[in-house]
Amino acid sequence: MNRIKIAVQKSGRLNEDSLAILKDCGISIDNGKDQLKAQSSNFPLEVLYLRNGDIPQYLRDGVVDIAIIGENVLIEKGQDIGIVEKLGFSKCRVSIAVPKGKKYNSIKDLDGKRIATSYPNTVVEYFKKFNVQPDIHLINGSVEIAPNIGLADAICDIVSSGSTLFKNNLKEVEVMLKSEAVLAVSPNISKENQLLLDKLQFRIKAVLKARKSKYILMNAPNDKIENIIKILPGMRSPTVLPLAEKGWSSIHTVIEKDTFWEVIDELKENGAEGLLVIPIEKLVL
């Protein structure tokens, strides 16, 4: 049986989030401890567990058809690799940080200064825009220690919460780019596997839409229904069902998490009562 091959990070948070979205897509993976390759038992898919930095080359060579990878890695090592879906998890930023006690006015302060990073291409391209040329020290691993041991004047690295910078007495001074997990595709994917990718992407879109949405039910007097419907965003039209109590109806719809509380407040102000909020597992449009 033909299988589409997907690369995911071997370990870490991105690995966990990648496997979670595949599970939410209904894909069961027969994965044993320390396996570097595993298959799905209910979808024609094979998972390869790889080092994050190696994945762009595997995509380029057609060894894997698709990958869940940080967008920051593609910017550094795989700008020729296509992105078919942004996944909304494992969000971070690639930033410049300097010692807390160091005075910093602008990026010009780093001209000729030593910057430790595992993202040399990203640094060069960013600094070109400001006509600044840093002295790049390529480090694979924990770059945060470099200023403390006198190896560099600043660092460029991924930042999530900023706690690692804080622990190493560093402060973030420039955000070069923002990143999240993406679904990337090999330029050499076959027509057969493109069809499998389309099926997988359909499932992923349903999962992502559900993660961003909530299903709500509310009761309202019939003379308030028209105003309430005007407030409701999202789906084509809410469902309105009569209640046993005369003059009242139940209204069902989907709203997005980002505007959830604002919409709820407005609904209450316009006569909605007994609001019930339910998480959505999948949302197929």
In angstroms, rounded to a whole number, what is the distance separating the alpha carbons of residues 20 and 32? 16
The answer to whether the CB of 117 falls within 8 A of the CB of 155 is yes
User: For the chain, which residues make up each domain, given as ranges?
Assistant: 4-89+180-210, 92-179, 213-279
Environment class of 106 (CB within 10 Å of its CB; exposed 0-12, middle 13-18, buried 19+): exposed
In angstroms, rounded to a whole number, what is the distance separating the alpha carbons of residues 256 and 233? 8
The structure's pTM equals 0.85
- Residue 232 pLDDT greater than 90, yes or no: no
Per-residue model confidence as pLDDT tens digits over 75-111:
999 889 999 999 999 999 999 999 998 999 999 999 9
Environment class of 12 (CB within 10 Å of its CB; exposed 0-12, middle 13-18, buried 19+): exposed
- Residue 67 pLDDT greater than 90, yes or no: yes
Both tokens assigned to 181: 């997990």
- Residue 235 pLDDT greater than 80, yes or no: no
Q: Which CATH architecture has domain 213-279?
A: 2-Layer Sandwich (3.30)
What does the pLDDT average to over 146-154? 91
The total of other beta-carbon atoms located within 10 Å of residue 195's CB is 12
More confident residue, 21 or 141: 21
Q: What is the pLDDT of residue 161?
A: 85
Helices (H), the chain: 13-24, 55-61, 71-77, 120-128, 163-167, 191-211, 225-231, 260-269
Nearest in space to 6 (alpha carbons), one of 183, 206, 153: 183
- Residue 14 pLDDT greater than 70, yes or no: yes
Q: What is the pLDDT of residue 32?
A: 61
**Beta strands across the sheet bearing 4-9:** 29-30, 37-40, 45-50, 4-9, 66-70, 181-185, 82-86
Q: What is the pLDDT of residue 100?
A: 93
Q: Same fold for the domain at 4-89+180-210 and the one at 213-279?
A: no
Task: Identify the weakest region by mean pLDDT among 43-57, 146-160, 231-245.
Answer: 231-245
Average pLDDT, the chain: 91
In angstroms, rounded to a whole number, what is the distance separating the alpha carbons of residues 203 and 15? 19
Per-residue model confidence as pLDDT tens digits over 245-266:
999 999 999 988 888 888 899 9
In angstroms, rounded to a whole number, what is the distance separating the alpha carbons of residues 183 and 80? 14
Instruction: Specify the residue for token string 């200023």.
Output: 147
For 145, residues 6+ apart whose C-beta sits below 8 A from its C-beta are: 151, 168
Residue 222, SS3 per DSSP:
helix
pLDDT range class, residue 33, cuts 50, 70, 90? low
Nearest in space to 93 (alpha carbons), one of 4, 14, 172: 172
Q: What is the pLDDT of residue 58?
A: 96
- Residue 186 pLDDT greater than 80, yes or no: yes
Q: What is the pLDDT of residue 233?
A: 66
Q: What is the pLDDT of residue 12?
A: 83
The total of other beta-carbon atoms located within 10 Å of residue 171's CB is 15
- Residue 269 pLDDT greater than 80, yes or no: yes
In angstroms, rounded to a whole number, what is the distance separating the alpha carbons of residues 19 and 22? 5
Q: What is the pLDDT of residue 156?
A: 95
In angstroms, rounded to a whole number, what is the distance separating the alpha carbons of residues 282 and 277? 15
Q: What is the pLDDT of residue 112?
A: 93
The fold of 4-89+180-210 is D-Maltodextrin-Binding Protein; domain 2 (3.40.190)
Q: What is the pLDDT of residue 13?
A: 84
What does the pLDDT average to over 32-51? 88
**Could you tell me the CATH superfamily of domain 92-179?**
Periplasmic binding protein-like II (3.40.190.10)
Q: What is the pLDDT of residue 234?
A: 55
DSSP class per residue in 230-242: HH--SSSS-EEEE
In angstroms, rounded to a whole number, what is the distance separating the alpha carbons of residues 152 and 111? 13
pLDDT range class, residue 123, cuts 50, 70, 90? very high
pLDDT range class, residue 169, cuts 50, 70, 90? very high
For 153, residues 6+ apart whose C-beta sits below 8 A from its C-beta are: 98, 102, 110, 113, 114, 115, 147
- Residue 275 pLDDT greater than 70, yes or no: yes
Task: Identify the weakest region by mean pLDDT among 85-89, 227-231, 234-238, 252-256.
Answer: 234-238
**Parallel, antiparallel or unpaired: strands 4-9 and 66-70:** parallel
